[in-house]
């Protein structure tokens, strides 16, 4: 009975999630981005592996990230992601691996990224992806695509970002194409303790949606986050904290008006120089 329930929820999830397939799941961007309404165009350092690869250029230290999400409190409906960031003098490199789904239908994604600073205020990045769908009916089906983006620092308070995913029409199975998604966003810091983010997201097969979030630094170790998405409406919130000097933890919850709550967790390790 629980397996049938999981399959039914999974199918409903596909119907109600316009960006299904971008990163194995809408929660593949990590707990920090999800808490901020899945705003990813201004992602920085290793978080950019799961959002906008241009942000990788800001990192100076070797980093590792693990993302985990449980969908709608179902044991069989989970997402797991892993990322590694390696800075070099020639630019920064990243590797990400993630999986989402149930036994009857699974998606895997492997991405290799490169990012570089093109001046003091401008970053660019690109990532080559391998997507694989495994089903009981069709077996394994894999396809290659790519994604990338830019980030610009207009001033110390104002930043701009843009990201595209799979601009060419690519089929991963006979019945499913990889979605083409474009995102444009901006972030404004009215004070050292607060950051406001707004982002437009367009899947060419679905209506335009707005992602937005607010991040507030409570103190040196704790950060509170809240976010809202449209089409369909999602309410997200979460908190981030530092566990020592090298490990940080982000926790987020997303509420879908039809399917309910989903918790997610990200753990990031950043080495010392």
Q: Give the model confidence (pLDDT) of 189-234 as tens digits.
A: 999 999 999 999 999 888 999 999 999 999 989 999 999 999 888 8
CB distance 87 to 113 below 8 Å: no
Please tell me whether residue 49 adopts helix, strand or coil conformation.
helix
DSSP 46: G
Q: Give the model confidence (pLDDT) of 55-87 as tens digits.
A: 999 999 999 999 999 887 777 778 899 999 999
What rounded mean pLDDT belongs to the chain?
A: 87
Cα separation, 108 vs 96, whole angstroms: 11
Please tell me whether residue 33 adopts helix, strand or coil conformation.
helix
Render 10-28 in DSSP notation, one character per residue: HHHHHHH-TTTTSSSSGGG
The residues facing 199 across adjacent strands are 185, 211
Which domains, and CATH codes, for the chain?
2-270 (2.40.160.60)
Cα separation, 51 vs 69, whole angstroms: 16
For residue 167, pLDDT beyond 60? yes
The predicted model gives 181-196 an average pLDDT of: 95
The predicted model gives 36-63 an average pLDDT of: 95
Of 97, 94, 87, which is closest to residue 23 (Cα–Cα)?
A: 97
CB distance 55 to 43 below 8 Å: yes
Cα separation, 252 vs 19, whole angstroms: 19
């Amino acid at each position: 009975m629980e397996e049938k329930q999981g399959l039914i929820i999974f199918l409903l999830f596909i119907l109600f999630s316009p960006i299904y397939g971008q990163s194995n799941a809408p929660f593949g961007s990590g707990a920090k981005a999800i808490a901020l309404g899945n705003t990813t165009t201004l992602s920085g350092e290793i978080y950019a592996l799961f959002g906008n690869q241009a942000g990788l250029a800001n990192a100076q230290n070797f980093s590792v990230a693990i993302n985990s999400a449980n969908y709608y409190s179902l044991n069989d409906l989970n997402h797991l992601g892993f990322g590694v960031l390696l800075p070099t003098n020639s630019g920064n490199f990243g590797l990400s691996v993630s999986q989402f789904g149930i036994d009857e239908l699974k998606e895997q994604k492997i991405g290799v990224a490169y990012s570089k600073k093109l001046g003091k205020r401008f970053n660019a990045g690109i990532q080559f992806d391998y997507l694989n769908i495994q089903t009981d009916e069709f077996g394994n089906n894999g396809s290659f695509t790519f994604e990338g983006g830019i980030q610009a620092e207009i001033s110390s308070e104002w930043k701009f970002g843009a990201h595209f995913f799979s601009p060419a029409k690519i089929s991963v199975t006979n019945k499913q194409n990889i979605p083409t998604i474009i995102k444009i966003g901006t972030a404004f810091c009215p004070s050292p303790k607060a950051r406001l983010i707004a982002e437009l997201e367009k899947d060419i097969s679905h209506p335009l949606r707005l992602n937005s979030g607010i991040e507030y630094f409570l103190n040196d170790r704790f950060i509170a986050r809240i976010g809202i998405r449209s089409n369909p409406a999602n309410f997200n919130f979460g908190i981030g904290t530092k566990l020592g000097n090298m490990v940080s933890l982000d926790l987020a919850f997303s509420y879908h008006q039809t399917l309910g709550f989903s918790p997610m967790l990200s753990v990031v390790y950043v080495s010392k120089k």
